[in-house]
Amino acid sequence: MSNSKDTSTRDTKQRIVTAGTELFRRHGYTGTGMKQIAAAADAPFGSIYHFFPGGKAQLGEEVVRTSGAVYLGLITTLMEPYEDRVAATRDAFTAAAETLRELDFADPCPIATVAMEVASTNEPLRQATSEVFDSWIDGLAAYYAAGGIPRPAARETAGSVIALLEGAFMLGRAARSTAPVIAAGRAAAAVVRAAPADG
């Protein structure tokens, strides 16, 4: 009986996090209300405060960290099969462009949406978004380093690639076009191609 209750509790919490992720991504952090999240999660309003007594800010942190880990996994899944780091980078941007189109040019990244809104007003959320971006850069840097780019240069390269991707998403949304993401992919591939090699 307790296992069933534990599973139900986990399911409710997961539904709340999933609903928060989707709503923050589409409407932004400040544009999303807790009642909206409860309705989208099909959960009692009070259950949000049961799982997240710190309210929207605590839920926001959970969304940022959970989504960040998912996106880091996607980066790994997309790129690790490639030995050619330049081709991997270009093709990852092509896949990102298709994702943007499939989402009808809504922001595919809740982390960037939250970061832009709260970086100067909410220190815990700013810190959470910063840590997520760092984890992406570290993961991508490890991949580039394994392909022969020296460690310091690999991290700088990874940071440039992530910055190009996030900027391209913003331009693509504004233009309702995948062209900025495809163009940024060519630029990112050029950055990787120009990075120094070990030895």
Mean pLDDT taken over the chain: 90
Helical segments of the chain, H only? 2-27, 34-41, 45-51, 56-79, 85-102, 110-118, 123-146, 151-175, 179-194
Dist. CA 78–CA 11, nearest whole Å: 28
The DSSP secondary-structure symbol of 105 reads: T
- Domain residue ranges in the chain: 2-194
pLDDT at 40: 96
pLDDT at 42: 94
Please report which confidence band the pLDDT of residue 111 belongs to, taking 50, 70 and 90 as the band edges: confident
Two tokens, residue 47: 């259950």
End-to-end CA distance of the chain: 61
Angle at which helices 85-102 and 151-175 cross, to 10°? 30
The dihedrals phi and psi of 90, each to the nearest 5 degrees, come to -60, -45
Two tokens, residue 48: 């949000």
Of the listed ranges 40-49, 107-116, 120-129, the one predicted with least confidence: 107-116
Query: Per-residue pLDDT averaged across 11-34, rounded?
Result: 91
| Domain 2-194: top CATH class | mainly alpha
Query: Per-residue pLDDT averaged across 73-96, rounded?
Result: 91
Dist. CA 118–CA 121, nearest whole Å: 5
The DSSP secondary-structure symbol of 44 reads: -
- Is the distance from CB of 154 to CB of 145 less than 8 angstroms? yes
pLDDT at 115: 86
The DSSP secondary-structure symbol of 178 reads: S
More confident residue, 56 or 7: 56
Query: Per-residue pLDDT averaged across 168-180, rounded?
Result: 95
Q: DSSP 3-state assignment of 148?
A: coil
Amino acid at position 113, single letter: T
Q: DSSP 3-state assignment of 166?
A: helix
Query: Per-residue pLDDT averaged across 51-70, rounded?
Result: 93
